[in-house]
Chain A
Amino acid sequence: MKCKEASAVLIIRVGDAFCRSCFKEYFVHKFRAMLGKNRVVFPGEKVLLAYSGGPSSNAMVQQVQEGLSRDAPKKLRFIPGILFIDEGAVCNQSWEDRERTMSEIENILKATSFPFHILSLEQLFTLPQTMLQMNLAEIPKRDGSYKQAVGSFLGQQKAQAEDGVSDAADRLTQIHIADNSSVECSQSAAFSRPAAEHTAALRDMFNSAKTLTAKQELLHLLRNHLILHVARTHGYSKVMSGESCTRLAVRLLSNISLGRGAFLPLDTGFSDNRYGDVVIVRPMRDYSLKEISFYNRLFNVPSVFIPALDTKASGNSSIQHLSESFITKLQADFPSTVSTVYRTSEKLHVSRTDTTQPKNQQDKCLLCMCTLDTHTGPASAFFATQKSQQLSEKKSLKNVPSAKDSEKQCCNGGQCCKESASCTNSVTGTQDIVHLLCYSCRVTIKDLNSMDKLPSYILKEAEHRTRRMEMRKEIEEFLLDDHSEDI
């Protein structure tokens, strides 16, 4: 115990007993330290808090409130907004149930006095095709260092104070972000029932996935698209996501098993800049789920239980769920499991790519938007798998040089190899999408019965990219250097 005065109310680890107020101090400090150490959230920046209703995201919202409150010793200086996405349709919930959840969420969010957005996952079907393109031009140029930015922010604030604006909250909202987009404090939009055909389309899409693993992965990918879209359209340049270190340890293990090894630093690191213009940060990654639960309980932080895809599913129903029960079980026997896994991930970085450099867009995965990890040499698991496929299929396909070409030839020739149904029925065949995906998303897509259930913004963008690639192939010999024009 720190203060050595008050009596302890909880023990976090062996030998770490805390009284109520010391625990609060410890918890609040961790949040500030995480943001202070990493220096990616700039003063005056608009930050979208991705809120799921669960314990971690509630604790996160609470920490932001705490940090922005008038009497906080070292105030946070960003402008928050909250986003909740209702995924009830995916779990086959009735509209009444979903409405009930949403109004519960709305009550919690209203109490924060932050602007918030409540959307349904069905909105995916209204996303524009450009959503999957990189808006590199729109990345606000941050001139100078974090220190300078803080300095100039404080200067601005002082000037305004002299102008007579005294209320701190008012000042915050009046300061514009670096790219001068007007601060649009969106009013809490009342949730409206999504179109029935969109709900049906969403259910169709998830029903076409043969495994729960693929369903969960698909939901994760699509949810990220929607978050990104909201952030972009409302001028948020950062998104805060509330994963605890327990959650991240599970994510790390399941992502390794899903073949996402190359992207572990992006998928689980503090900041994730794969989208370029909007950066995801994970300020809760130092807290264990246990700490969060204690905090929420001691300080009456609300949370809402919302059934998810794997609720009530058996322990080994999906790779993600299996990883979770595995980590939990191992943690019980070896209490350092979560922290060890988490520390291991700290030592990794994004491979072979400099994400600050503008990259040829085709090198990004259509779904997860990470730089493709399929440009491996012939001595790799990726090629070995393709070789096995080729060798187990018809002999006529044996002599084609590369796997990519074999996919093309086989589809153009009409004698399709695997999923003949999906090839002939859909406008965009499996193969057209597959070569635009990273290793892991290819595995996920393989578990879908049909591609054309995907939202049109994905299919259209796939067509668009394929066309551009064919075009490029045609004119390749006339292009002078390895210059990658934006597509």
Chain B
Amino acid sequence: MPINCSSCETQRAVLRRPKTGHSVCKECFFRAFEEEIHHTIVSAQLFQPGEKVGIGASGGKDSTVLAHVLKVLNERYNYGLELILVSVDEGISGYRDDSLETVKRNQQQYELPLKIVSYQELYGWTMDQIVKQVGLKNNCTFCGVFRRQALDRGAMMLGVNKICTGHNADDIAETVLMNFLRGDIARLRRCTAITTGSEGAIPRCKPLKYAYEKEIVLYAYFKKLDYFSTECIYSPNAYRGHARAFLKDLEALRPSAIMDIIHSGENLSVKEDVKMPVQGTCTRCGYISSQGLCKACVLLEGLNRGLPKLGIGKHHKLHHKLLAQEPLSEAETRKLKSIDF
């Protein structure tokens, strides 16, 4: 029996919204999905008219939908934004080169300018080379730290005022869970903020913060958006995997759980007397850092010295040696060299 759309009550419903459980027609779903993002953008005052906004584009579903919706809303509501796609080429053959092709196609379809920054040009290392030295364990640490900075550097070259990333509600809820399980109170406090890094770095925002991953896929499916969907060929983050699996189970039990977790995260308040890391700048590259040397520089130093473990775990005591370009003692070298598989 065909069900009518619960919103317009005239069209036949073609899908059930994962977020609310309502059966709606295609048009009403598009409208609701877009309006919700518009509501997020307006209520959190993400943009000012005339701003140049970089969209972090990976070619995956989230960033493809983000680029599409931002373009639509920018025209529909006259945000007055100049949109630019920014991509990072990590140098992973068989994965990123393919997804970058998707970004290039998107660029033509949406008529948006595109800037690609590569690890190779920024750091002199591709991910393929890094994995060769580091092994499959912990390589996500390198990729994650480098990407964060690479996106900022790319954005700086373009002179944008803000960067948008495609993080969705599932990602945020998962991060809340993970930071809670790891006891990372500083990140726990930051991770639900819709805009981050207002001082020093280029502000970043997440317009899809309240959009369910499943709805993003539905939107891309019905809009027939072109995106690239393959998991990274290098090992996925195991701990995040636990949190992800748990979140999926929760969502199956109660679809609102994702929003409920975000609500929890937004309303946590941290005691005043808890020590928080102080934000400073890296003495080497000038990027924001809570230490004297930023993580990217430490990792890079480790790679260049042939000590890949330097950036894995905490080795704050060695920072002064790194800064002074001093050689490490033999015992320290031995500890950081060995890679166990």
Contact = CB atoms under 8 A, between A and B. Distances in A.
Interface string A378-396: 1111111101110111110
B242 interface: yes
B270 interface: yes
Contact of A330 (B8, B35, B181, B257): B181
A387 B267 contact: no
Contacts of A382: 263
Contacts of A260: 264
Interface string A292-335: 00000000000000000000000010110010001000100000
B198 interface: no
Contacts of B252: 316
Contacts, number: 157
Nearest to A326: B246
Interface stretch (B17-25, B119-127, B278-286, B332-340): B17-25
A440 B262 CA distance: 12
**Interface-centre pick from A257, A259, A326, A387 (highest chain B CB count, 10 A):** A257
B39 interface: yes
A340 B183 contact: yes
A393 to B, nearest CB: 6
A351 B268 contact: yes
Contacts of A378: 39, 43
B66 interface: no
Contacts of A211: 253-254
Interface string B182-206: 1101001000001000000000000
Contact of A256 (B43, B177, B185, B271): B177
Contacts of B185: 344, 347
A439 interface: yes
B254 A319 contact: yes
A317 B293 CA distance: 48
A343 interface: yes
Interface in B129-185: 176-177, 180-183, 185
Contact of A440 (B176, B177, B260): B260
Contact of B7 (A213, A330, A373, A393): A393
**Interface-centre pick from B24, B35, B253, B271 (highest chain A CB count, 10 A):** B253
Interface string B1-40: 0000011110000000101101010001001100110011
B7 A381 contact: no
A255 interface: yes
A381 B188 contact: no
Contact of A322 (B176, B253, B270, B271): B253
Contact of A394 (B7, B180, B260): B7
A interface: dominant SS? helix
B227 interface: no
A256 B180 contact: yes
A378 B46 CA distance: 13
Contacts of B35: 387, 391
A351 B271 CA distance: 9
Interface residues of A, number: 52
A391 B31 contact: yes
Contacts of A37: none
A343 to B, nearest CB: 6
B40 A391 contact: no
Interface string A44-65: 0000000000000000000000
A322 B269 contact: no
B interface: dominant SS? helix
Contacts of B20: 388-389, 392
Interface in B234-273: 242, 246, 249-250, 252-254, 256-257, 259-271
A16 to B, nearest CB: 21
B162 to A, nearest CB: 16
A341 B176 CA distance: 12
B271 A439 contact: no
Size category, B interface: 35 or more
A376 interface: yes
A262 B6 contact: no
A253 interface: yes
B181 A256 contact: no
Interface string B82-100: 0000000000000000000
B304 to A, nearest CB: 32
Interface in A115-165: none
B32 A257 contact: no
A379 B269 CA distance: 17
Contacts of A352: 269
Interface string A334-349: 0001001101100111
A348 B269 contact: yes
B72 interface: no
A258 interface: yes
A338 to B, nearest CB: 10
Contacts of A228: none
Nearest to A392: B22
Given A213-B253, A393-B7, 19 more contacts: A211-B254, A256-B176, A257-B261, A258-B260, A259-B264, A261-B265, A316-B249, A347-B271, A348-B270, A349-B271, A377-B43, A378-B39, A379-B45, A381-B210, A383-B39, A384-B210, A385-B256, A392-B6, A394-B9
Interface of A: 211, 213, 252-253, 255-262, 264, 316, 318-319, 322, 326, 330, 337, 340-341, 343-344, 347-352, 373, 376-385, 387-389, 391-395, 439-440, 443
14 contacts: A252-B180, A253-B181, A256-B261, A256-B264, A258-B260, A340-B183, A344-B188, A351-B267, A377-B43, A384-B39, A384-B259, A388-B32, A392-B28, A439-B260
